Structures are given as C-alpha cells and as structure tokens.
Chain A
C-alpha cells in the first residue's frame, strides 16, 4: 500500500463519517414522520424520499450540480456568501448524504415501527409531550434500527461514485474517494494501485455489513 492509497482511504472514511453524522437528524425526522404521522401528501413525500435509491446516482449528481452550480439561485447565494461547494470536499459529503439518505431513513422508519405504540401512549398518560416521548421512549427503543441504518448509510457513502464524480470530480488529494480513485487509477493504467484501494474497500464493506447484520439479529431477539 502506498501513501497515496492510505490518503485516499482516510479521506473517504472521514467524508463518509461526516456525511452519516449530518444525514442522521434528517433521516430520523423523516423516519419518524413516516412511521408515526398521517398527513396530506404522505405517499408523495414517501416516494420523493426514496427517489435517490432508484434514480441513477449520476442523475442525482446532475440535479445537485444544477442546484448548487453557479447559475442557480442557491449556488449564487452560496457564492455571494463565499461558500464554494462544487468540486470541493463539501460536494463529496453532499453527494454521500443525498445517496445514503433514503437507506438511513428507511431503516430508522422500520426501527420506529417496531416500537410498540402502547409504550408511547402510556408515556402520554404520565404527562409526557410528543418531544419527550420521542426522546425518552421512541428513539431509545428504536436505537438498534437507527444504528443499523447509520451503518448502512455509512457503507453506501463509502462506495458512492456516480453523484460524486459529477459534483466533486476526481481531484487528487482534494476530492478523490476510493470508488472514484479505483476508476481513475484503472483509466490511467495504474491497476496495481487500484488493487490496494479494492482491498481496503472490501475490508470496510465487510466490517460494516457484519456489524449491521449483528444489530438486526439482536433486534429480532429482543
């Protein structure tokens, strides 16, 4: 393994951790809404939430490029504030967040749906409001589903390619992740270096899926 390989691996893990941390609050809010609330347009909302799961990641990347590019109002506002997103590490995190979001939200939702609603109802008879019930009953009892979702999201973020290459590119030392790295290394005839990244990617994926499966198993037993 070369210093370059380790640098790419370190950068990817760091970005994926950041993306997972940032995506969790949104995923928890969305998962809770879908599991516990009835509202107008829920079916539509549900579909939009799952969209990045079925849309080609490159297409999601194109949408992000359009949304955060210099020609869009959002991009112009960010530019005016001195914040550059496209082709920086922030774009890597953003792509990872968008692509992993539906996986995390669905797992959180499943975790919350497994919590017996009657615990929440009892908490209400004890004087607790919705937020206290969520914080003290629902989320702790759904914690395994949430943790499994976070790991799943993290793994998906590690392997993110399509959206990343659109909005972040493959700038060595700045935006090059494992997945993008493997592709560009092979393209430039450096297959041996790509193999190093492949080994790291396989080990990370193995570990994440193993832990996630163990969490799901334990949830079944509890």
Chain B
C-alpha cells in the first residue's frame, strides 16, 4: 500500500506545480500532458529535486518538509526511481547495474527471474533495446527494496507491440513483490490497465 501524502509547490521557469494528494492505494497513476510537471513531481519524491515549499510524507516518515526544514537526501529515502530513459550506467554491464543498489542478498535471483533478465546479464548496456533497458532499470531500483517504485513513462520509448510485452512485467511486480507503484504517463489507456487511482496534473 502507498500511504503517500503530497502537498508541494514547485516553481520552475514561470511554471508552478501544486499537488495535494493523500490516500492509500497500491498503484497510483499520475496523468498529465507533457510539460505538466510529472517528471518534476517524481524527482521531488525521489529527492533529486527540491520543492519550493510543502511536505512529502510516506506514512509518518517525512521525506521533505519546508516548515520543519527537513530534506532527506536521496540516498536515505529508499525510493526506487526509474526515469523515462532508464539511465543505466554505461560503464557497467547489466548484472553490475542491477547489483549497484544491492542491500539484501537473495533478491537478485528472483528479480532476474521475474523480469526475465537471465540472458542479458553479461551484456553491455549499449546492446540493449528500449524495453530491455526499462526492465534492467526496474530490477536495479527494486534491488534496494524501496518503499515505493516510481516509474516515469516506462512505455514511452517502446513501440505499440512491445508495450503488450512489458506491461505484464509491471503487473507481476505489483502482484508478486507487493511493491507500491507510482506510474506516470500521458496515455490514459495504460492507466486503465494498471492504476487503482489516478492523479491528474495540468488541469486537463
């Protein structure tokens, strides 16, 4: 269950994003057109971007609070973040990427199995397709046993037919690992398949 509470304002280049949301769900969808601040919102939750004001909480754990002057560094937040372009470390192979955030032994095997990565482990990152990169990035983020996994348009760089191949992996994470997800997209159809509840950004 996600028990995420968001009440933040971010201003960047004349654009301001205010989000208020609080309700426990397993998969929270965030929907909005490009430029509505979806990625900025994920970065704020992950601790990469600092909101101008407000508060971000998971349960009673405060990640950020301008009033209380709390800004937990990204490395202490235990938030898994998979950016749109996966950002696999190009100087490491697939296995080393997955193991970068290793905290607890034993996760590796099951993650590799769930995401079907056995055949890719020795590959250089350059040799992977868009969908494979996404799966490796998801495994890498899950190795830290995050309290939430943030997925930024995981299907954006993938063509139509391949989407139907990747979506089941994401549903498996939800079902087998019980990791709460925040799933960002500009495609309503995708959200219908996965999200329990949808947060709309950008007023559309």
Contacts and interface: CB of A to CB of B under 8 A. Distances in A.
28 contacts: A118-B87, A119-B87, A119-B89, A121-B48, A121-B74, A123-B89, A124-B47, A124-B48, A124-B75, A125-B74, A125-B77, A125-B79, A125-B81, A125-B144, A126-B75, A126-B101, A126-B140, A126-B144, A127-B78, A127-B101, A127-B103, A127-B144, A128-B75, A129-B75, A136-B89, A136-B100, A137-B89, A141-B90
A73 interface: no
Interface string B22-47: 00000000000000000000000011
A29 interface: no
Contacts of A141: 90-91
Nearest to A137: B89
Contacts of A125: 46-48, 74-75, 77, 79-81, 141, 144
B157 interface: no
Contacts of B100: 123, 126, 128, 136
B40 to A, nearest CB: 13
Contacts of A56: none
A38 to B, nearest CB: 14
A207 interface: no
A124 B141 CA distance: 11
Interface string A120-158: 011111111100000011001100000000000000000
B83 interface: yes
Given A124-B47, A125-B46, A127-B78, 13 more contacts: A118-B87, A123-B100, A124-B48, A124-B74, A125-B79, A126-B100, A126-B101, A126-B141, A127-B101, A128-B100, A128-B101, A129-B75, A140-B91
B73 interface: yes
Interface of B: 46-48, 73-75, 77-81, 83, 87, 89-91, 100-101, 103, 140-141, 143-144
Interface residues on chain A, size class:
10 to 19
Nearest to B126: A222
Contacts of A118: 83, 87
A118 B74 CA distance: 12
B105 to A, nearest CB: 15
A119 B140 CA distance: 13
A119 B90 CA distance: 9
A136 B92 CA distance: 9
A136 B90 CA distance: 11
User: Nearest 4 A-B pairs (CB), nearest first?
Assistant: A126-B101, A124-B74, A140-B91, A121-B48
B126 to A, nearest CB: 10
B99 to A, nearest CB: 10
Contacts of A119: 87, 89
A90 B99 CA distance: 45
B182 to A, nearest CB: 13
Contact of B87 (A122, A128, A136, A140): A122
Contacts of A126: 75, 100-101, 140-141, 143-144
B97 to A, nearest CB: 10
A141 B89 CA distance: 9
Contact of B75 (A127, A136, A137, A140): A127
